[in-house]
Amino acid sequence: MIRKTAVALLMAFAALTVDSLAHAQTPTMYDPRDAEYRLLGLIRAKADYEQALSEFDRAESEHEEGLISQSRLDAVRQRMETTRVNYLQQSLAVIFEQPHVLIDQALKYQDADGNKYVRLTVRNTAASAFETDTLAELIDVEILDLLEPDRVRSVFISLKSQPGQGGAIISSPYEIRIDELAFNEPETVTFRLLQDADEVTVSVSYAGVLDEKTVYLEKDATANIVNVESTQFSQEADLGGQATFDLALEQFTDEANTFRLAAVGLPPDIRYEFGDPTSGARLTQVRFPVGVSQRSLTLTLELPQRAGGSLPQSALDRPLPFYALVMNEEAADALNTRLQQAGTLEADSPELASIVSGLDAGMVRLELIPRGIGRVEMRAPNLYHEIFPGDVVSMEVTLRNIGSRRLDSLRLLTETPLGWQGRVEPDLVSALPVDGETVVQLTFNPPDDVPVGDYQMRIRADSAAAERRVESQETTVRVHVAAPANLWLTGTLALLLIFLVAGIVIFGIKLTSR
């Protein structure tokens, strides 16, 4: 605290002295280029001050001997004070010549929980004047010891998404303060990344200067492991359908490496394949070329049509955990050996989790929730009927659950032409198990004055399965209404035919007898 107060007083004194002597005589050795070449300016100012000090000492001796007047002594003293202030200014300019905080390293790594960190190492590289022995010869030792020009104080560091005011801070803590940064002594600070990035802007504020640099983060290659992440870590899929997980891979080394891909913990009835989302190619291995640290993959799961076997009915509607692994050859061989020794393991067994966590491999835990679906099949022995006015259409329809989930609240719905009425018995089937079937009686009543013609009735099944609506395709029943038969006309025609036949027979007999 005393040193800082002394520094402030010294600088204030220099400023006041410069202001008070603003109209004083300028030293003869002053050169405007001293502002650019500060060390040369300091040499010139020191020589000028030493000369003026020598003249003042000689003038004081002459004044004591009565050789010069008081005014002459005051003029020499004023010149000496002016050169002394100039020397002090040049000394301060060299001492506080703009230091530079150098970024030695920006290393990105992750912990066991997958959190990303940046380990940043900075160093104070002061101006070249501080690295020479000449400075101690030009500036008073007390001034150097008092001001400590080899240290930069109050250095503030943060990580941003981009330089400038539009760049948001993407690290925690938002800002780190280094109280004192000694010359050429590295200082390391650690940030946790709030937003994953391969390059960041390092913002450093010190000595009234804001310095921002965009740097590409190095990767911690101490363990040759690929980080695997998925935003769709839990998905539902119907039996007979697919589920696709997007995987983001990041390698923490710039070397060219090849890794094997595997999904562990899935029942054998669920098939999987890794793919390249750009080319659509199916992959069993992934390669990182030199300089490439990130890749994107897809993991597609194909579910069987029905539950059973390695995917029992009891596994439906329950989370099925499994692991997507990216590993080198050694880890892949170790995984196969351990799985063969362990035999068949449940997907959520602690033993499987222990085997996977013991591998030097990149992994992500995913979940699949298989869902059964309900499907209704309608069968009828005859979908075409012919009736006369006044008749009704009666038919049977067999409803069968050909899906993989029980059907609830099953109804058979009808759509009839205007004036027709449809009746279903039973009107509601409360539940229909998988592969179960039921027979429904269906009756269509035409109006009393139904004209002769063709009519179409539409029927469909409606039900629910696990709060999801299930509908069947519409089926059409065709009905032909024929005209009623005229008995009197039919009888008259029959008699006429009989008489005609009888007349022909009689006429034939007479011809034969002649």
Query: Per-residue pLDDT for 5 more than 70?
Result: no
Query: Per-residue pLDDT for 17 more than 70?
Result: no
Query: Per-residue pLDDT for 175 more than 90?
Result: yes
The answer to whether 85 touches 48, Cβ cutoff 8 Å, is no
Query: Per-residue pLDDT for 356 more than 90?
Result: no
Query: Per-residue pLDDT for 262 more than 80?
Result: yes
Q: Which of 39-43, 220-224, 249-253 has the highest mean pLDDT?
A: 249-253
Section 93-103 average pLDDT: 70
For position 363, what pLDDT does the model report? Answer: 86
How far is Cα 481 from Cα 158, in angstroms, rounded to an integer?
Answer: 87
Total Cβ atoms within 10 A of residue 458: 14
Which residues, in sequence order, are CB contacts of 241 under 8 Å at separation 6+? 303
Query: Per-residue pLDDT for 196 more than 60?
Result: yes
Q: Which residue has the higher pLDDT, 225 or 424?
A: 424
pLDDT band, very low/low/confident/very high, at 32 (cuts 50, 70, 90): low
Q: Phi and psi (nearest 5°) for 111?
A: -95, -175
DSSP letter (8 states) at residue 448 = T
Query: Per-residue pLDDT for 413 more than 50?
Result: yes
For position 146, what pLDDT does the model report? Answer: 53
How far is Cα 211 from Cα 214, in angstroms, rounded to an integer?
Answer: 10
Cis, bond preceding 350 (omega within 30 deg of 0): no
Phi-psi region of 4 (alpha: psi -120 to 50; beta: other; left: phi over 0): alpha
Question: With pLDDT > 70 as the criterion, what percentage of the chain qualifies?
Answer: 81
For position 362, what pLDDT does the model report? Answer: 83
The answer to whether 286 touches 327, Cβ cutoff 8 Å, is no
Task: At 62, list the tokens.
Answer: 């002459």
Query: Per-residue pLDDT for 36 more than 60?
Result: no
Task: At 483, list the tokens.
Answer: 């005209």
How far is Cα 19 from Cα 505, in angstroms, rounded to an integer?
Answer: 157
Query: Per-residue pLDDT for 4 more than 60?
Result: no
Total Cβ atoms within 10 A of residue 236: 13
Section 498-503 average pLDDT: 82
Section 380-407 average pLDDT: 89
For position 299, what pLDDT does the model report? Answer: 94
Total Cβ atoms within 10 A of residue 154: 12
Query: Per-residue pLDDT for 396 more than 60?
Result: yes
Closest to 376 measured CA to CA, from 242, 270, 269, 468: 468
How far is Cα 176 from Cα 168, in angstroms, rounded to an integer?
Answer: 15
How far is Cα 165 from Cα 156, in angstroms, rounded to an integer?
Answer: 16
For position 438, what pLDDT does the model report? Answer: 92
Task: At 221, list the tokens.
Answer: 């290659």
269-278 pLDDT tens trace? 899 999 999 8
Query: Per-residue pLDDT for 437 more than 50?
Result: yes
Closest to 459 measured CA to CA, from 442, 479, 446: 442
Task: Please state, in angstroms and as integers, the Cα–Cα distance from residue 105 to each residue in 82, 134, 218, 342, 367, following that order.
Answer: 47, 32, 8, 45, 39
Tell me if residue 513 falls in helix, strand or coil.
Answer: helix
Q: For the ranges 15-19, 53-57, 267-271, which has the lowest average pLDDT? A: 15-19
Closest to 259 measured CA to CA, from 247, 269, 270: 247
For position 39, what pLDDT does the model report? Answer: 62
Cis, bond preceding 426 (omega within 30 deg of 0): yes
Q: For the ranges 119-133, 167-181, 194-208, 212-226, which has the lowest average pLDDT? A: 119-133
Closest to 477 measured CA to CA, from 377, 382, 410, 376: 382
For position 441, what pLDDT does the model report? Answer: 93
Tell me if residue 266 falls in helix, strand or coil.
Answer: coil
Closest to 301 measured CA to CA, from 238, 358, 351, 352: 238
For position 10, what pLDDT does the model report? Answer: 46
Q: E strand or H helix at 31, and its extent?
A: none
Query: Per-residue pLDDT for 235 more than 50?
Result: yes
Task: At 508, list the tokens.
Answer: 């034939």
Tell me if residue 152 falls in helix, strand or coil.
Answer: strand
Tell me if residue 441 falls in helix, strand or coil.
Answer: strand
Q: For the ranges 11-25, 248-262, 428-442, 481-495, which has the lowest average pLDDT? A: 11-25
Section 179-200 average pLDDT: 88
Query: Per-residue pLDDT for 283 more than 70?
Result: yes
The answer to whether 369 touches 232, Cβ cutoff 8 Å, is no
Q: How high does pLDDT run on average in the chain? A: 80
